[in-house]
Structure 1
């Protein structure tokens, strides 16, 4: 029986990305903690704190020992953390006389937190690759459709013509900002957690800082300036980034859902999904998932901020809250990136329908352009008033706004030429150029 949708054999393929989800499976969690224990033994042997033979034996055992998750269950239930049971199992695997040196001077949180960081490093690599794949598809859309007129919508109503290429470029610009944030996220997140019982490595005596540096080198992590057992801002900063990424994907998904409605039909997001009873339905499943996963992360991020309220030098309650929250956020982000990249790469753009929807407004989308054209020959307030009255007439008589204005204003404006929506896309082209220039920086 599955307790959550991301664990279910039925829904997990829909709601997770296998590569990201694998990082939070029990086997991966255990492997990462054993990796830290093995590296710790070698670091302590490097510094002469434990015998060299002990370091080698512990490292070898940590690399080849398999600990079944069920073997840690009872200990985790008793201790509230799996590390004591894992240490006991590793000591048994190492045997005498070297087993006594396993976990020398460390505390459970050192092992669990550092193991988490090692797995999050892999998650960051996966998510960066997903963002880059998505960026490539969006850049292609922006370039291909820079001259494709589209009805912009503000407050769910048609506004003025814009370029579909610019819409894609706006999506791309947010994706590039997430990539731009990544180096700082990595710098703050990929940091060793190593403080011992109370954060001061007292058990390691005068060699504490040397061991810390050696362990950081072996794991290819930065050393922390000070222990972060109960100061979790870097982890929460990362979680915020996850919520930002899925928020952008949710925005894209929302736009695609609206553009794909039957009455709009300006895009088609891949093959879509079917209905159990209506053969005509093609549901935008991928786009809907992006919205759902964005909302999930927007909700879960509050739990991560709640987990920042930690007491003194160790907090079992806040730490446990992270376990309940962060994996879902990371896995959800992986799923959103996979679905988003696939959806955009398969997106069909119906430029003819975009133009038809603009034309169906009978020129109302061009009302702003009309008022500025008239403002060249009269005060703008007067021009706006004329256009507003003409809009009413165009709606009531079902005529094109510019035909009404041509009859009522008596000006020399070339209304026929102004009917082309491509003339009213403003600085879209230049804006697309700027975004694509930024993209080249990340592409290179």
Structure 2
């Protein structure tokens, strides 16, 4: 598929091949071959005509750039394609040439070709998504007991488990995979309606032709033509956009945790990966960068698809054409993001010691809520909250650890005599603080693995 050098930078060669000019044109020829074969089987055209048409339905036989240029003038790529197909068939059999594209219309050809390409695109996405989810779930299992800071509003909040965070990254991706499959089961359908969607030229044989074509192409038989009924199709596109947004969430957290000042995660390095043209020390999170770029573009592409749904009467003018142009961008970005994050998580470097140091550097402040809840049993919630607020301010001012200040308060205040100092001190243990997160993640992981292993 054509695009700038920077478009290519953000996707994969495999996905580019799916939506390449040749692949789309070949999809259109597959439609024409299936149409002729189905019509011959129903006695609408001679078998010899179907064979003649099928014999030249091969994209390499044609000048694709010339077809594209002619399509721009004609308003549809299918118009010059059918014309050239007819001309080529006529070179061998003039009678058969009259049967080319019988009873169909340009949108039937182009929509079905895009459906065929999208099916291939979804297979690539499904495979990459399964791999990424597997990486995340495996890491989650390994790091159930790895304490780290949880952060809210970009500030340290409490202690959680890195395994719990990884499960939270994986869960939307596992759900996205299932929802993509559900949406695809509805959207990957044949387009066949003829000039205004009524299959009038084929008459009573039209539904049987559609059945045969759908079977030959491995597509769902539509309830009817969907020339301007784009709901199932656009819904599939929205699922790809939502997936890309979830990948952006993972990439955002990864990039923040990889900052030098945080240093809890690092993408793989070596072979020039993540380097700088000016600063030899740099280790840039390039996988996160690619996923973030895809996430930044996806909402606008999704909005374009939504804006094209108000198509006029029985064939859209301008909006259908905008949809065709925008559609591949979602898949190109999503697969680029998936491949980039797979590269990162296949060899992600996790610095558990740095995670602990980042917790320790906060002088116990992130344990204030747990300490307050424990002290409330002795002096009530409002008084405990006020005390921990005061002690937290003191910790910041003096540089002392909140644990030590809390223990001093217990020793010096008779009202706190019922507080067990050892239990209070234990609340400041990062490993103990992460236990709840560990248990939740441990409960989530089996269900996520089952969902990931669910058959097609």
Same fold (TM over 0.5): yes
Checking the alignment, whether the CA contact within 8 Å between 1:65 and 1:93 is kept in structure 2 is no
Name the SS for the 1:102 alignment partner. Answer: coil
Residue equivalent to 2:3:
7
**Partner Cα separation in structure 2 for residue 392 and residue 206 of structure 1:** 83
In the alignment, structure 1 residue 437 sits paired with structure 2 residue 421? no
Name the SS for the 1:264 alignment partner. Answer: coil
Name the SS for the 2:304 alignment partner. Answer: helix
**Partner Cα separation in structure 1 for residue 275 and residue 86 of structure 2:** 55
Residue equivalent to 2:196:
198
**Partner Cα separation in structure 1 for residue 8 and residue 444 of structure 2:** 34
**Partner Cα separation in structure 2 for residue 66 and residue 376 of structure 1:** 83
**Partner Cα separation in structure 2 for residue 390 and residue 274 of structure 1:** 44
Checking the alignment, whether the CA contact within 8 Å between 1:172 and 1:435 is kept in structure 2 is no
Q: Residues 131-170 of structure 1 correspond to what in structure 2 (within 5 A)?
A: 131-170=129-168
Checking the alignment, whether the CA contact within 8 Å between 2:137 and 2:449 is kept in structure 1 is no
Match among 106, 109, 127 for residue 108 of structure 1 = 106
Deviations 1:75-132 (A, max 9, x none): 2122211111111111122222211111000000000000110110111111000100
Q: Residues 355-434 of structure 1 correspond to what in structure 2 (within 5 A)?
A: 355-410=356-411, 411-414=419-422, 415-434=424-443
Checking the alignment, whether the CA contact within 8 Å between 1:38 and 1:63 is kept in structure 2 is no
Give 5+ residue unaligned stretches, structure 1. none
Give the deviation of 1:11 after TM superposition.
3.4
Checking the alignment, whether the CA contact within 8 Å between 2:275 and 2:283 is kept in structure 1 is yes
Residue equivalent to 1:296:
297
Residue equivalent to 1:16:
11
The structure 1 segments of at least 4 consecutive aligned residues displaced by more than 3 Å after TM superposition are 10-13
**Partner Cα separation in structure 1 for residue 366 and residue 238 of structure 2:** 38
Name the SS for the 2:44 alignment partner. Answer: coil
Q: Residues 91-102 of structure 1 correspond to what in structure 2 (within 5 A)?
A: 91-95=86-90, 96-102=94-100
**Partner Cα separation in structure 1 for residue 292 and residue 11 of structure 2:** 14
**Partner Cα separation in structure 2 for residue 343 and residue 435 of structure 1:** 23
Checking the alignment, whether the CA contact within 8 Å between 1:250 and 1:293 is kept in structure 2 is yes
Residues 313 and 150 of structure 1: is their aligned pair in 2 closer, same or farther, counting only changes over 3 Å?
Answer: same
Residues 112 and 13 of structure 1: is their aligned pair in 2 closer, same or farther, counting only changes over 3 Å?
Answer: closer
In the alignment, structure 1 residue 249 sits paired with structure 2 residue 247? yes
Name the SS for the 2:98 alignment partner. Answer: helix
Give 5+ residue unaligned stretches, structure 2. 412-418
**Partner Cα separation in structure 2 for residue 364 and residue 64 of structure 1:** 67
Checking the alignment, whether the CA contact within 8 Å between 1:72 and 1:85 is kept in structure 2 is yes
Residue equivalent to 2:220:
222
Give the deviation of 1:64 after TM superposition.
7.3
Residue equivalent to 1:128:
126
Q: Normalising by structure 2, report the TM-score.
A: 0.93
Residue equivalent to 2:415:
none
Superposition RMSD in Å:
1.5
Name the SS for the 2:349 alignment partner. Answer: strand
Residue equivalent to 1:261:
259
Residue equivalent to 1:316:
317
Checking the alignment, whether the CA contact within 8 Å between 2:112 and 2:191 is kept in structure 1 is yes
Give the deviation of 1:362 after TM superposition.
0.7
Give the deviation of 1:437 after TM superposition.
1.2
In the alignment, structure 1 residue 44 sits paired with structure 2 residue 39? yes
Checking the alignment, whether the CA contact within 8 Å between 1:373 and 1:413 is kept in structure 2 is no
Deviations 1:189-217 (A, max 9, x none): 11111000000000111211111111111
**Partner Cα separation in structure 1 for residue 217 and residue 110 of structure 2:** 14
Checking the alignment, whether the CA contact within 8 Å between 1:33 and 1:115 is kept in structure 2 is yes
Checking the alignment, whether the CA contact within 8 Å between 2:407 and 2:425 is kept in structure 1 is no
Checking the alignment, whether the CA contact within 8 Å between 2:144 and 2:442 is kept in structure 1 is no
Q: Normalising by structure 1, report the TM-score.
A: 0.96
Deviations 1:39-84 (A, max 9, x none): 1000001111111111122122214762221221342122211111
**Partner Cα separation in structure 1 for residue 287 and residue 231 of structure 2:** 32
Residue equivalent to 2:115:
117
In the alignment, structure 1 residue 77 sits paired with structure 2 residue 85? no
Residue equivalent to 1:287:
288
Deviations 1:352-403 (A, max 9, x none): 0000000111100100111112122221111111111110111111001010
